[in-house]
Amino acid sequence: MKTLKNFDIICFDCDSTLSRIEGIDECANAVGLGEEMAKLTNAAMNGEMALEAVYQKRLDLIRPNKAAITAVADLYISEMVDGVKEVFEALQTHQKQIHIISGGLRQAILPLAKVLKIPEENVHAVDVFFDTDGEYHNYNQDSPLARTGGKADICQKISLDTQKMILIGDGKTDLEAQQVGVKVIGFGGVARRELVEKQADFYISDHSLKSVLDYIL
């Protein structure tokens, strides 16, 4: 097996990579819009539509409140992909810098990050805002992660010229990191996408995330 070694920074997508769910689709399910939103999510992750073309549309329709975000946060943890804890423990033992880079909602991802012992400043996702009653108000429309090319921008921001970075994810937005010299391992253990399988530097179809350790440690 050809291996990838000596990476200083290891980054992970969240939805369909660290957890078996797509957070925004779960919010949609709660308001009866699951099928419609799942189609939009798949279109973006398969590269059929630009992320910015679907991001605001989804949130304007779903309008997730604080209770919905809490429910999704619980699901992220309960639906964690097999092997995630072992992978993070191994990387932390080797003193690797770990980041989560996701187009999901940050408040829903933070509890999972806490379980995995990832500091909040290493969680890059889209903030959502609520009114005083806890109802949906807006999201951070300036976040690069709500548009095409955002993951490449985040990778470039957190990496130094002397550091090597790799990103593990399942979707087209993860492939964008290649634009700034980041290696990408496609993870097909939850959602297998032909575009990612063809274009990722390496591709894993195992249901357990532990397979990535064969490549990077």
Positions annotated as catalytic residues are 13, 15
Q: Residue 202 CB: number of other CB atoms within 10 A?
A: 20
3 state DSSP class of 101 = strand
Buried b (16+ CB within 10 A) or exposed e, 52-71: eebbeebbeebebbeebbeb
For 64, residues 6+ apart whose C-beta sits below 8 A from its C-beta are 27, 30, 72, 105, 128, 136
Cα–Cα distance between 206 and 42 in angstroms, integer?
20
Spell out the alpha helix ranges (H) of 63-134: 66-78, 84-93, 106-115
8-state DSSP, 141: T
Cα–Cα distance between 93 and 90 in angstroms, integer?
5
| CB distance 69 to 105 below 8 Å | yes
